[in-house]
Structure 1
């Protein structure tokens, strides 16, 4: 139930911020995950322990999916599931940056119904529940409604401009910017600070579930790279990239993208 799940997520996110900020990013103990899966710190694990105790404890019938918990197929039998990234932007956290976030969501039947993205060191708390709109620190937010891609500023890592991703063999003209936390990028688009964002590589559900609802409730559109709506709690919890923006910019990005990722005729799929 979105109305009751959102306050639970907000309280848990605030507690996550209190825990994480007890650690100094540069001195927090850090490990590299197997298989080149990125870093994890003692702060990630401490936040995850708290969330895994608090959230399922408050909602015993909900499933659990977190970046820092070994996955279990048990969640697939649950109508509702928590989808959590204890710290999105762990590299930033470990470097002592302020640009990292806690990303918490509830999905019901594959659709996110309550979501929070919280950046404790920037005092930014984005939240949304189905049918209730999206907020930043309690104030309503809406996406930008730029009319053309040419005048838009899009959050995207540089590899997304690779010619193979685009129908005409090159990316269309738009201003590019970047932020290290994928959840924060999505929230910034929901806030209207940027006109869109995209990531064209497979993306973990815990990085994007909360941002998906915040964007949609802020009257934006959020799909995978082929234009399909996002569905969560999949057996393999990874989605086919993200394209998010106001409706007009989203349409123009989608029209310019090559869904197969082949780009220039004759090039191989990757």
Structure 2
């Protein structure tokens, strides 16, 4: 049902990624947002323009939510909308690090139904629809369950690890920071890490596409009560979250996390 939308967002995300790549390593102009002092570059805006033009021309009845567009409450009246982060991992992008991606999702009735992550500097393409498998460059992904005897490879900040229950801390081998949250979730889907703890205040645009890709690979992104996320609410930020393969989530829950 959502294959045509997947094709559309894939083409748009690849075009936006090519635009952003033209600024990569070229000292793009940067400013800091007044609300949270997070950086935004001219590449973010240029990629956003590409996405908005390609997607809303093709689906004018869809709503729009993007990190780099002023929020329009009209999206709340839309059953279906695009949820976009033109560059997820802007700090890495500005620093010349290659772990950043273009994140585009179609969200229908609060849940992602098509999602794409394009990582241009890494030449990787992650895709999923609600009916099909997660794909990395066309190959099917399956988040593997970690062996019971080994520690879990978990990406999380040191301050978060320090606040976890002792049984959970003993279970975890901490993976150093991955600057793009969307890409971090994709790393669970492709089996490079087992789980991640997401600090509060992640936003819909950071999560929606990667949430679907992880789910279709056999993992899950949930809040600390174990519930899946609902997107396109009035508030688009979320509390602390846990993402992982189902086996990793079970082991972390048994150790007191979640």
Question: TM-score normalised to the size of structure 2?
Answer: 0.94
1:63 aligns with 2:63: yes
- CA–CA distance in 2 between the matches of 1:80 and 1:171? 40
- Mark the runs of 5 or more structure 2 residues left unpaired by the alignment: none
1:131 aligns with 2:134: no
C-alpha change, 1:206 and 1:186, in structure 2 (3 Å) is same
Task: Indicate the residue corresponding to 1:44 in structure 2.
Answer: 44
SS of 1:227's equivalent?
A: coil
1:173 aligns with 2:140: no
Aligned pairs for 1:241-260 (under 5 A) are 241-257=240-256
C-alpha change, 1:23 and 1:200, in structure 2 (3 Å) is closer
C-alpha change, 1:210 and 1:257, in structure 2 (3 Å) is farther
Q: CA deviation at 1:169?
A: 8.6
Task: Indicate the residue corresponding to 1:155 in structure 2.
Answer: 155
Whether the 8 Å contact between 1:160 and 1:199 is mirrored in structure 2 is: no
- CA–CA distance in 2 between the matches of 1:151 and 1:170? 10
Task: Indicate the residue corresponding to 1:84 in structure 2.
Answer: 84
- Mark the runs of 5 or more structure 1 residues left unpaired by the alignment: 260-270
Q: How many residues align?
A: 257
Question: TM-score normalised to the size of structure 1?
Answer: 0.90
C-alpha change, 1:111 and 1:170, in structure 2 (3 Å) is closer
Q: Deviations over 1:162-181 (max 9, x none)?
A: 32xx3459734211113110
Task: Indicate the residue corresponding to 1:190 in structure 2.
Answer: 189
The two structures, once aligned, show a CA RMSD in angstroms of: 1.7
